[in-house]
Chains A and B, each alone.
Chain A
């Protein structure tokens, strides 16, 4: 398996521009998570989906951020308009969400390599 795939790996853009980050989860996984990592705040959960449905977006900083998961194999995180404070590494992770009895064994999240975003 190729693992979680993210694109682009690096993105440099100017303030005010729209940025779209992409993620392909591991085939067969039914939960997908978007995180943001900075030195100051560490790894923060932005939003997660179960079976393509957004479950919790309380970590999304503001209306400039939006995420979609149109199907089980693709998700996007969009920032419009981007600002310098959005500069960070954005990670996507996926997981096979099991039933209640087997939850412990399926709680592992598999992370992609991340997208390093720089907003000038």
Chain B
């Protein structure tokens, strides 16, 4: 069956360090993979999109990698700040559909 897995345990890191979050998937042939941020009591907010033929995407302090052989995406936040504390969700979209399937998310806590 299709599955998208993210670390269910919270990731706690110190301010200034690089946070790395993992998204693994099985039985998908994704056209695109996206990362969203969700704060408590709010809806998810889009951060980055990476296509299947792209290896890496960057936006300011954010970097996403996509390895279709390993079926894995890594999401990096460099020089992390307490304001980066949130839950981060990965989402996949396959070809021939508009459906976006979300992982369960990883909670990131950045301590000063």
Name A's B-contacting residues (CB within 8 A).
4, 31, 33, 35, 42-45, 48, 50, 55-56, 91, 93, 95, 97, 104, 107-114
Contact = CB atoms under 8 A, between A and B. Distances in A.
Interface of B: 32, 34, 41-46, 49, 51, 89, 93, 97-105
Nearest to A42: B104
Contacts of A33: 100
B43 A104 contact: no
A56 B43 contact: no
A43 B89 contact: yes
26 contacts: A4-B43, A33-B100, A42-B102, A42-B103, A42-B104, A43-B44, A43-B102, A45-B101, A45-B102, A48-B98, A48-B99, A55-B98, A56-B97, A93-B43, A95-B98, A97-B98, A104-B32, A104-B51, A107-B32, A107-B93, A108-B34, A108-B46, A109-B44, A110-B46, A112-B43, A113-B42
